[in-house]
């Protein structure tokens, strides 16, 4: 190998000393989803509102770390704004889970949908990624939706525009591109 090649690769390593791993991104996403939906089965249930607030605060700090690569986004502000948008994200995801339950006669409960349905997982990744993209994050939103794509076979770009009450059933191979516009109740 040439020294020029090695220096080029070294430069890439030096510019990414704190690059988040795919595992760190996945744990953040699934912990966030588990806080919103305890039946998603991530960790122990929360006993009181102060403990819940503490978990959200810890997630905010982890998100700040994950946003490290996005030099053009103010990490602390973006993380705080994202966590502050949790009620909106939660409501959208509740509508999505209900749409899946209503649209699939095999579904036994909304809890089952949240816990087990790949379409819900992929949609949740989209909703989280879409909000982060709207706050100026560049790499992290796509990393989150790619985790869902790898797990479910459903690829939803975080830049797509998707309305409320969205349902994907039997979604393996579904691709929703960045320029897609999907309305409500689809």
43, pLDDT greater than 90: no
82, pLDDT greater than 90: yes
Average pLDDT in the chain: 91
Residue with the bigger pLDDT between 124 and 22: it is: 124
176 beta partners = 156
Read off the pLDDT of residues 131-150 as tens digits, 9 standing for 90 and up.
999 999 988 999 999 999 99
3, pLDDT greater than 80: yes
Burial class, 150, CB count within 10 angstroms (exposed 0-12 / middle 13-18 / buried 19+): exposed
175, pLDDT greater than 60: yes
pTM comes to 0.90
Mean pLDDT value across residues 83-92 = 98
**Residue of 56, 100, 103, 107 whose CA lies nearest to 82:** 56
121, pLDDT greater than 60: yes
Q: Lowest-pLDDT range, 12-16, 67-71, 75-79, 92-96?
A: 67-71
């Amino acid at each position: 190998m040439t020294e020029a090649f090695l220096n080029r690769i070294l430069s890439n390593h030096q510019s990414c000393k704190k690059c988040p791993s795919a595992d760190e991104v996945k744990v953040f996403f699934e912990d966030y989803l588990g806080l919103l939906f305890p039946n998603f089965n991530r960790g122990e249930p929360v006993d009181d509102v102060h403990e819940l607030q503490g978990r959200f605060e810890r997630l905010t700090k982890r998100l700040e770390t994950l946003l490290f690569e996005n030099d053009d986004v103010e990490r602390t502000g973006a993380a705080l704004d994202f966590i502050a948008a949790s009620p909106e994200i939660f409501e959208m995801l509740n509508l999505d889970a209900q749409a899946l339950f209503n649209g699939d006669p095999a579904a036994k409960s909304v809890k089952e949908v949240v816990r087990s349905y790949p379409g819900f997982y992929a949609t949740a990744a989209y909703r989280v990624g879409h909000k982060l993209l709207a706050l100026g994050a560049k790499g992290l939103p796509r990393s989150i939706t790619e985790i869902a794509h790898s797990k479910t076979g459903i690829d939803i770009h975080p830049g797509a525009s998707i309305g409320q009450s969205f349902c994907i059933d039997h979604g393996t191979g579904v691709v929703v591109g960045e320029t897609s516009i999907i309305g409500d109740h689809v």
